[in-house]
A and B are shown apart, each in its own frame.
Chain A
Amino acid sequence: MPNKDTIVDVPTVNKIARLCRLDIPEVNKESLTNDLNNILGFVAQLDEVDTSNVEPLASVTGHKLPLRSDDVNDGNIEDLVLKNAPESSSGFFVVPKVIE
């Protein structure tokens, strides 16, 4: 079992932050690393239980994935969809250019 104190280090936090597009101030990184290690360490206690003969549990309710029939019964609400957009034009969302 990995030492719970060293699951995550600062470079890992940097990497996750970049992938999530989060700007984390340098001063917070050390404490954030500790927090993440505490959380992961707590969850890692589950590794102590032998689950080799247990089927993975997807639902505690016993429900199955509901299926719907192939009907068009939604859409035509472009005004609503665009309502919160900071910028829109002729029905499109408008964003800063995302191509080099």
Chain B
Amino acid sequence: MNDTSTLKPGHIQGETGIWEMVIGLEIHAQISSKSKLFSGASASFGSEANRNVSLVDAAMPGMLPVINEFCVEQAVKTGLALNAKINNVSVFDRKNYFYADLPQGYQISQFTKPIVGEGEIIVDLDDGEQTTIGIERLHLEQDAGKSLHDQHPTKSYIDLNRTGVALMEIVSKPDIRSPQEAGAYVKKIRSILRYIGACDGNMEEGSLRADCNVSIRKSGEEFGTRCEIKNLNSIRFIIQAIQSEAERQVDILEEGGTIDQETRLFDTSTGETRSMRSKEDAHDYRYFPDPDLLPLEFSESWVQDIKEKLPELPDSLKKRLIKDFGITSYDASILVEEKDYVDFYQHAANGRDGKLTANWMITELFGALKKDNLSFLKSPITSENLGELISLISNGTISGKIAKEVFSEMMKSKKSPSEIVKEKGLEQVSDDSEILKLIDQVILKNQDNVNEYLSGKDKLFGFFVGQVMKLSQGKANPGIVNKLLKEKLK
């Protein structure tokens, strides 16, 4: 009845036909440096107001910016991880605008000659498919300060601690076609940044935030006019904001209106976007090269040194996990999302059943952590202990059912699974004579059912298995129970 259920993600059914979304993302990633991009003040989060501010950050007259080598290295590293062209000469420009939390009156950024040029990444979608998204550029720039508007009825309070902290702006090509793809793209960029240690990727603290450029068109037509949604700090909001913005544009165009190219904000309480700046103040940043800074130059051999030190990245790790442990592409893509997951998994699965380990880690462990609201690093279950549990299942010491009991005990007590099995006497009973004793008891107690079974009521077999398992408190090996019962009830 409702044909929206068959629509592809990123398509909108309008009155006049199906509309397609065209999306490009600008990701701002805070570099994980100790000090700022152009000053020696701390770049840490959560200090007292204006504590991490030098006279350079406060834009006092006569102060000179000096660039942080670590930040340059992180930008190059990220460029290499995004398979992008590294520009050995790049230039810093001033982007001029006035705002209370920008004491210089301009942001030092890179406009015509960024440090990193075109690249591309592979993005994993939820259905297990992959798509390639182009990278337009990556450049270095300063963050602005923070304005608090709710401290006073007529005043704004300004904290410059974040002023001058190093950011990488990663600009995608307009290759993204659905909100879900946009979410997957951000997830992949975040994952890469965390692997190489260039950015902690913490979206709640604002270390990673995205501006989304959204336009719509009928399939095969030219790009439409785009709107930019500023400063989204969660993947969920990115997905919601793009969907709602695209729907807004469909409504306008189908009513015969036109889209104004403008900057919009996503209101998380209404789930809709609203206009942010009046058109009168249209972007006119009057960029020009910063006369305080010479072009940034580095040698090809320095770039090669960085390249050699790059850690193994998610795509290559994923291939290796599939090959070495025989797990599915879907499981592998979940495990490589975080370096910590991969390290944990490789340790737990080493020399064991890889598929079983992946199942227990993804379904049971991730599920239990989510339920208890614990971060992965706070997991009460170590990789050693999960591995040991897998061994106990694989070698038949405990059944899968008992393993779940042991697992919840491990979550509670942090004890090792063999300790728990020993304490609670949970070893699986696989000994024929032990099980035969249980079978005899069940047969004795249920003589009526035995007669019915023998007279042809085959369905009762399951009842006997259940009774034996119950009598063993779940510890009997179900395979052996089945085999012996069959022989016994012939």
Contacts and interface: CB of A to CB of B under 8 A. Distances in A.
B40 A73 contact: yes
B156 A96 contact: yes
Interface string A43-81: 000000000000000110001111111111111111011
A25 interface: no
B144 to A, nearest CB: 12
A97 B147 CA distance: 10
A97 B297 contact: no
A63 B297 CA distance: 11
B155 A96 contact: yes
Nearest to B145: A93
A75 to B, nearest CB: 4
A75 B40 contact: yes
B100 interface: yes
Given A63-B294, A95-B158, A70 B55 contact: no
A58 B284 contact: no
A68 B49 contact: no
Contacts of A76: 51
Nearest to B153: A97
A90 interface: yes
A97 B295 contact: no
A72 B294 contact: no
A13 B335 CA distance: 59
Contacts of B423: none
B98 A75 contact: no
A95 B155 contact: yes
Interface in B144-200: 147-149, 151-160
Given A72-B42, A74-B40, A80 B55 contact: yes
B378 interface: no
Contacts of A70: 33-35, 68-71
A19 interface: yes
Interface string B32-57: 01110001111000001111111110
B340 to A, nearest CB: 24
Nearest to B33: A70
A10 interface: no
A56 B58 CA distance: 32
Nearest to B158: A93
B91 to A, nearest CB: 8
Nearest to B148: A92
18 contacts: A19-B286, A64-B294, A65-B293, A68-B40, A70-B34, A72-B42, A74-B41, A75-B40, A75-B53, A77-B55, A78-B53, A81-B58, A92-B157, A93-B158, A94-B158, A95-B100, A95-B155, A97-B152
Interface of A: 15, 19, 21, 58-59, 63-78, 80-82, 87, 89-99
Given A90-B49, A92-B50, 14 more contacts: A58-B289, A63-B294, A65-B67, A71-B34, A71-B40, A72-B40, A73-B35, A74-B40, A74-B41, A87-B155, A91-B51, A93-B158, A98-B149, A99-B156
Report, nearest first, the 7 A-B pairs whose CB atoms are least far apart: A70-B70, A75-B41, A74-B40, A91-B49, A74-B54, A93-B158, A92-B157
